[in-house]
Each structure stands twice: as structure tokens, then as C-alpha cells.
Amino acid sequence: MINGVDWPCDVKTLFRDTNLGCDAAVESAIHWFFDHVEEGIILEDDCLPDASYFPYCAEMLEMYRQDKLIMSITGCCFQPDGFSADTSYFFTRYPYTWGWATWRRAWKLFKNTPAEYPCLFDFEWLSKFLGSEMAARYWSVIITRCHENKTSAWDYRWIFSIWANQGLGVQPTQNLMTNIGFDHRATHTPAECAETFHRPAQSMPFPLRHPTSVTRNEDADRVYEARYLCPEPFMKPPPKPPRPLSLIGKTIRFLRGMPAPVAPSPAPDVAELSLKHEFNFYQAQVQGHTMTPVERQLSLYRQAVACEKNNIPGAFVECGTWKGGLVGLMALANLRHGIKRRPLHLFDSFEGIPEPDPVMDGAKAVAEVESVGCRPTGQLKSVSGFYDKFANGTGTLADNKHLLEKIIGYPKEFLYYHVGWFQDTVPADAETIGPIAILRLDGDWYASTRVCLEGLFSRLVPGGYLIIDDYGCYEGCRRAVDEFFTAQGIQFPLTAIDSQSVYGIRSS
């Protein structure tokens, strides 16, 4: 192939006498490359570019030649199908190497040993640099593995070198590169992940549309982190079922006293396995921020994903957030599966639960608050010590903001915190919310549940989900729901998630 180059150019070659492996071979080859050129394009054998990739790289190399903040140009785009932007490219913390280009001045900063850049091991620095504690936890593991030589990934070390030098990468707003290296023939990536990685290459239209400033696109990076820092499960194709035995084969097995062959297990539902896999990854991120059983968490995550995949419009709303864990799951579902960010509305006093009404809320509610020394009268007054006994303390506004803004990194302009008792905030703020795709109510008592239904249910769109967390737990909650739908003359079937929680889907 090299000898077949028939256009005017200077061809230089480097052939190895022995196999050096992915790490040393690629790293030293790039060093050799920049011994001969000031800037250039680097393609590995499994990266198949669109033809427009080459003029795109050439223009980027020229445009940012003197900008030391820009250290790499990538040809792959990890944004979801349907992603659109006003520019042809954006700036990112994730300058991946599936078809990339750089300059000698940038590659000179490459360090094969992460310990040469001590800031990488400073979790506080890494969290601030990436803008997400969740991302920092993920990458801290990779940095440690590289430091301990438990991975031969030279490209990780290149990314870490860029980070240590406060650098950015250029990423196109549409994918210019197909990676064909994920299948059973691969050394490191034998998984069949075609849907995730074998993304079709597209053609870049020219002239390029340039950003007005060299600033990281944090929203795009948040989407990448939610989609790809949760690794896809390495699923093997289901085994082929054995051929049915002939009559002679069955007779032989019978005469030999052999048991009848066991019927093969049904093929796994790959989509369901993938959803549970990503849920398990994300559920670990919100632990400590929700007291809801895992079964309800999975149900909510599945419903949020369904809203994204079925294009159900509207906001995700939760009334009674505690420390924000379930809103966090909905945010992660949107980041992973949504093309656009949704408004997230959090209604909570952020100072505890109010007193139940002894008449409307039933014996269980009264007994629980009396166990912490409260004599309830239904006042809008926090029950002191309630969440100290039944959970890990009261959920504060700071708890919710830390999870959503710092750990998950959801864009702040889509987060709305409605602070106060539902009886005050829901009537006042309902008009500002617009359509609702998911309305999750965790108000426990009669009055809290009823005011949320009266103020917000009318905004639930067809196909949207209403979730009542305490329908089977507290008498007041159940009474409020039943009375509301009876008064509205609405037939709204509810499906049990578990013994306490139910959901319904609005049909019209």
C-alpha cells in the first residue's frame, strides 16, 4: 500500500523488527513523526475517515497553530444523533484519538508517566478542572491504573498530558470518523458494540462555521460523560441452540441412560440488559441522596428513558426531593438519552417534613411523628428529628445543588429550585413550568399531595408519567389521589411499582 502512493509527496516509513505493543509502538511512532514535521494528522488502522476529515484538519491546524490552549483536533463526535450547533466544531476536555491531529509544540508536553504531572492525583483539582465529581471519580481510577502500569493505553496518557497543561481539544459537531475496530478480532476491544462505536461518518460542510470564543462546551462534555463514562456491558452473542436430535439420536441416548438434552435458555433481552447496566452505574452515583428502594429507582429511570426515546415533551418535576437522588437519575437519563436538555423542577421545603393532619392522614402518619416527640396538628411546621430517625438527616438545598450541579454537572440554567411548602410554592409557580413529562409526588400527607395534583396534573402531557410515591403507605396520600380524580371525573388507572408506590400514564 505504501509503495502504491502515486501523488506528489515525500514518503517516509518506519518499520519495526519486533512487535513493541500498542503503548510503546504508537508513542514512539508519534515521536518519530514529529521529528520530521511541525504538525500533522494521525490515523490508526481501525479509523475510517470521511474525505472531508482531511481539509477539516488542515484548516484547524492552520487556524490554531499559535494557540497553545488548543492541543488536539479530533475527527470523531460522541454527541447523540440529532445534535446540532451553530458552529462546525466546539472545544472539549475530551480530545479523543479516533482520527486526530496536533502540533509538535503540543506533543512535546506528552508524558508517559502520569506521576510527572502531580495535579492529576489531586481529586479536588481534577473535580474543578472537569467540573464534575462523578467524572473525576471515574477518571481517578483510570489515572491510577495508568500510574500502576495496569493498562497500555497511550491515548489516556496523552489526554492526561493535555489536562495537566490546561489544554482543550477541538471536536466536530458531526462525526467524521468510523471506528471499525470493535469485534471478535480485536486485541483490546472484542465486544460487539456496533451501536455505540461503529458510528457512520458524515461529510463536513464547508466553509466551516467557527465559534466566537475559545471556550469549553460544558453541556456537550456533560452529555459525553453521562453516555460514555458508563461503559457498555461487554455482551457476547447468545450461543446457538443445539440441533434437534434425530429419532436415532434420541434412541441411543435412551439406551445409554443419558438424560434428555436441556432446552437452551431464551436469548437475553439486550436492550433491557443495557438499561439495567447503565442504571446500576448511575444508581451508585446518587446513593446517599435518596432513601427510595432500588426497585422504585429503576422504575423511574426506565420511565425517564422512555420519555427521551419516545420524544415525550415537557419538564421532569419532583415534589419532595429530599437530597435530590431521584431528580439526579432523571437528569442522568436525559444526559445519556436526550438530544436536548430538559427543565428539572424541584419542589421542597428543604428543611424537613410538615406536620400531618391527625384527621386526614391516618394513624401511621401520626404514630411516626409522635415517635420523635411531635404532637401533630397539621401545621406547616417542620417535624424536628423526623429525618434523623427515618433517614440520614434532612435534605437541604445545598445537598440537592451539590449532587445536580457538582457531581452530575447538569446545566444550571435548566435547574429550578422551588423553595418552601407546597401549599405556597405550587400555586405560585405552576404557571411558570409549562408542559410536564414526569410528575413525581413524594409529599407523604394529604394536603401536600392534593395541592400538587391540583396545581400540576393539568400540565402532564399525553404519554407523560404521574408517580405517587406513598399511595400504598400513607392513608392521607391515597385519599388525596382518589378524591382528586373522583372530583375531576377522570379515569386514571394506576399500576403498582411495589407495595407503596404507583404510577399512571396520561392518555389524553
pLDDT score of 259 more than 80: no
- Type of residue at 165: N
The predicted structure's pLDDT at residue 85: 81
Sign of CA dihedral 282, 283, 286, 292: positive
Residue 264 lies inside a defined structural domain of this protein: no
Residue 279 lies inside a defined structural domain of this protein: no
Mean predicted confidence (pLDDT) in 10-24? 91
The predicted structure's pLDDT at residue 243: 63
The predicted structure's pLDDT at residue 264: 58
* Res. 187 pLDDT band, cuts 50 70 90: confident
Residues 53 and 178 occupy one common structural domain: yes
CA-to-CA distance for 159 and 142, rounded, in angstroms? 11
Residues 205 and 292 occupy one common structural domain: no
- Counting residues of the chain whose pLDDT is more than 90, the rounded percentage is 77
pLDDT score of 235 more than 50: no
The predicted structure's pLDDT at residue 297: 97
The predicted structure's pLDDT at residue 398: 97
The predicted structure's pLDDT at residue 21: 86
* Res. 372 pLDDT band, cuts 50 70 90: very high
User: pLDDT tens, 100-138?
Assistant: 999 999 999 999 999 999 999 999 999 999 999 999 999
Residue 270 lies inside a defined structural domain of this protein: no
Residues 145 and 213 occupy one common structural domain: yes
**How many structural domains comprise the chain?**
2
CA-to-CA distance for 433 and 459, rounded, in angstroms? 8
Q: Are strands 344-348 and 415-419 parallel, antiparallel or unpaired?
A: parallel
How many Å is the maximal CA-CA distance in the chain? 90
Looking at per-residue confidence, does 260 or 478 come out higher? 478
* Res. 89 pLDDT band, cuts 50 70 90: very high
Residues 292 and 197 occupy one common structural domain: no
CA-to-CA distance for 271 and 273, rounded, in angstroms? 5
The predicted structure's pLDDT at residue 285: 87
The predicted structure's pLDDT at residue 447: 97
Residue 249 lies inside a defined structural domain of this protein: no
Residues 213 and 295 occupy one common structural domain: no
Residues 306 and 390 occupy one common structural domain: yes
Mean predicted confidence (pLDDT) in 378-392? 92
The predicted structure's pLDDT at residue 236: 43
Residue from 75, 154, 78, 73 nearest 113 by CA: 154
Residue 276 lies inside a defined structural domain of this protein: no
Average pLDDT of every residue of the chain = 91
Q: Are strands 100-103 and 39-42 parallel, antiparallel or unpaired?
A: antiparallel
pLDDT score of 151 more than 70: yes
Residues 218 and 302 occupy one common structural domain: no
Residue 253 lies inside a defined structural domain of this protein: no
Q: What ranges make up the beta strands (E) of 36-121?
A: 39-42, 47-49, 70-74, 89-92, 100-103
Residues 379 and 446 occupy one common structural domain: yes
* Res. 268 pLDDT band, cuts 50 70 90: low
The predicted structure's pLDDT at residue 183: 79
Q: What is the CATH number of the domain that holds 56?
A: 3.90.550
Instruction: Name 325's Cβ contacts closer than 8 Å, sequence gap at least 6.
Output: 286, 287, 288, 289, 290, 292, 297, 403
Mean predicted confidence (pLDDT) in 272-284? 87
Q: What is the CATH number of the domain that holds 432?
A: 3.40.50.150
Sign of CA dihedral 103, 108, 113, 118: negative
CA-to-CA distance for 290 and 302, rounded, in angstroms? 17
**What are residue 496's DSSP bridge partners?**
502
Residues 350 and 453 occupy one common structural domain: yes
Instruction: Name 360's Cβ contacts closer than 8 Å, sequence gap at least 6.
Output: 378, 445, 446, 447, 476, 479
The residue among 197, 213, 228 that closes a domain is 228
Kindly tell me the burial class for residue 150, based on how many C-beta atoms sit within 10 Å of its own C-beta (0-12, 13-18, 19 or more).
exposed
Structural domain that includes position 85: 10-228
